[in-house]
Structure 1
Amino acid sequence: MGYFIEVEPNVNLYVEDVNPGSCKTIVFIHGWPANHRMFEYQFDQLPAMGYRCIGIDLRGFGNSDKPWRGYDYDQSADDIRCVVDALGLENFVLGGHSTGGGIVIRYMARHNGYGVAKLALFAAAAPSLIQRPYFPHGLRKEDVDKMIQDTLNDRPKMLRGFGDMFFFQYVSQPFSDWFFQLGLQAAGWSTAAVANSWLDEERLFADLEAICVPTLILHGIHDRVCLFPLAIAQHEGIKNSKLVPFKYSGHGLFYDQRDKFNKELVQFVEE
């Protein structure tokens, strides 16, 4: 079932809630510039295994409202808290992909992990998506600047290029077209604003230290967006974390190795 939850006046987020009768809940936070539908191949399988799967379209993306402002990590974390409160969620697993991974880390620090029993990071954009003087492992700032300009000048072309570097395994043209449409559902201004937030977001280094729940880190070794050294930094920075490299995956490990992805996630939930 799908519904809208108000997170501030005149701003509503779309939430997909599958198998709401289950007491085993996994909340999925999508990456840039897609929406909750990127987890289709998890939502196809996990509810049949007894899990409640909740997908949230972040503001500016998917079916959620697209206000002009509010695209920093703090606001996104606060939006998630509003959904958690509205649904009365407790003892759930919180998972985030790419930028969504950075946002769930911010949620853990900013809201003291409210309601979260376990954390799962999927190719997370943390502790920094871009290279910094003290962190050489991310993308070059110039490449992100270009991505932002391409978003504002020719967003469909930018999305095609981004999709081409997203997966490591072969994807069919129809699948590529479907994934492209996920990005088009976002607003251009929100797509650019979130990308711009990567440049200034440095607090995730400290946020990692605030995580005190068991944490699963799934990351493709061929990831060209969030490079694999980011996963190593996450593992080193989060106590009680487990890193599982995906040898045949890029940034889209939830599809590249979907069976392994689902198996590792379920095993982690049940531990």
Structure 2
Amino acid sequence: MTLSNRQFTSVGRSEFIAVEENVKLHVIDLGEGPTVVLIHGWPLSNAMYEYQYQFLVAKGYRVIGITLRGFGKSDKPFGPYNYDIFAEDIKIVLETLNVEDALLGGFSMGGAISIHFAAKYAGAHINKLALFGAAAPIWSEAEAVNGLIDLSVTNRPQLLENFGKIFGASETAISAPLAGWLGGINFEASFYATTQCLIALRDEDLREDLGKIKVPTAIFHGTKDIICGFHLAEQMHAGISDSYVVKFENSGHALFIEELEKFNSELLAFLTK
């Protein structure tokens, strides 16, 4: 695969990388040094890591943010949306950018996809794994997710508003400007990908993947997370042999902005271990 349509901006390099003949992913590639690769959650994009990019580049790291197919500025094809497809896409991007020995970090659905990537490819391209409020190993009860799928195909704005209300530790935990910023990112997602990824979140089971992870793993999780309850962090910790949990006592699901300073400092601490 080849790079195309590379752009240089005031904040770094933005490029589109082909993962299939007619599918290109938007990738942000900033800084120089040891590499950190970040995977966003549903239905966000690589834009969600704005405050991690700036912090890590200033600390001497190269940071790569990949927007999954169907989201943000990436192409939005019809077709399958599942963890296998996403993992394959990530591998092509890392191969194209010659990435080795990176920390791979993923938020929410992106955390689940990162687990699958590490298990499927036996740790290829990475030497550490960081999971942020990951929707794994099994996200939720099928019946509950079916209601979200129904709403996605009848009233997507209402679905996203409902999620916004429970994204933080409380309805007022995230400031109005930040909530508006996140909402804008959410609406860049394809309606089709939004629905199909809910189906994947409902159906994917990563319990067998946990035991296949052989790289050191940090599990960041909000103790007040309603979307991905803290019990998921405990299950991941029990299943991943070389792992530890960092509790975010004042965070819901949005730990990357609710406790921004702690999130960044704990990530840096894991990088320097």
Is 1:92 aligned to residue 102 of structure 2?
Answer: yes
Once the two structures are TM-superposed, the CA of residue 142 in structure 1 deviates from its matched residue by: 2.4
Alpha-carbon distance between aligned partners in 1 of 2:153 and 2:50, rounded to the nearest angstrom: 28
Alignment match, 1:15: 27
Alignment match, 1:151: 152
Give the 4+ runs in structure 1 shifted more than 6 A. Answer: none
Q: Give the residue type in structure 1 aligned to 2:29.
A: D
Q: Are the aligned partners of 2:70 and 2:190 in contact in 1 as well (CA < 8 Å)?
A: yes
Secondary structure at the counterpart of residue 96 of structure 1: strand
Alpha-carbon distance between aligned partners in 2 of 1:4 and 1:75, rounded to the nearest angstrom: 18
Once the two structures are TM-superposed, the CA of residue 93 in structure 1 deviates from its matched residue by: 0.2
Alpha-carbon distance between aligned partners in 2 of 1:171 and 1:224, rounded to the nearest angstrom: 14
Alignment match, 1:231: 233
Output aligned runs, 1:206-217, within 5 Å. 206-217=208-219
Q: Give the residue type in structure 1 aligned to 2:80.
A: G
Once the two structures are TM-superposed, the CA of residue 178 in structure 1 deviates from its matched residue by: 1.2
Residue by residue, what CA displacement relative to the aligned partner does 1:166-191 show, whole Å, maximum 9, x if unpaired? 11262222221111111100010100
Output aligned runs, 1:46-195, within 5 Å. 46-130=56-140, 140-168=141-169, 170-195=173-198
Give the share of equivalent positions with the same residue, in percent.
44
Once the two structures are TM-superposed, the CA of residue 232 in structure 1 deviates from its matched residue by: 0.3
Q: Are the aligned partners of 2:99 and 2:125 in contact in 1 as well (CA < 8 Å)?
A: yes
Is 1:201 aligned to residue 207 of structure 2?
Answer: no
Alpha-carbon distance between aligned partners in 2 of 1:172 and 1:102, rounded to the nearest angstrom: 27
Q: Give the residue type in structure 2 aligned to 1:45.
A: F
Alignment match, 2:261: 259
Secondary structure at the counterpart of residue 154 of structure 2: helix
Structure 2 length as normaliser, TM-score? Answer: 0.93
Which of 31, 34, 45 is the aligned partner of 2:44?
Answer: 34
Structure 1 length as normaliser, TM-score? Answer: 0.94
Q: Give the residue type in structure 2 aligned to 1:239.
A: S
Alpha-carbon distance between aligned partners in 1 of 2:178 and 2:201, rounded to the nearest angstrom: 28
Q: Give the residue type in structure 2 aligned to 1:6.
A: A
Once the two structures are TM-superposed, the CA of residue 220 in structure 1 deviates from its matched residue by: 0.2
Q: Are the aligned partners of 2:122 and 2:214 in contact in 1 as well (CA < 8 Å)?
A: no
Q: Are the aligned partners of 2:223 and 2:252 in contact in 1 as well (CA < 8 Å)?
A: yes
Q: Which runs of 5+ in 1 are unaligned?
A: 131-139
How many residue pairs match? The answer is 259
Alpha-carbon distance between aligned partners in 2 of 1:120 and 1:164, rounded to the nearest angstrom: 26
Alignment match, 1:5: 17
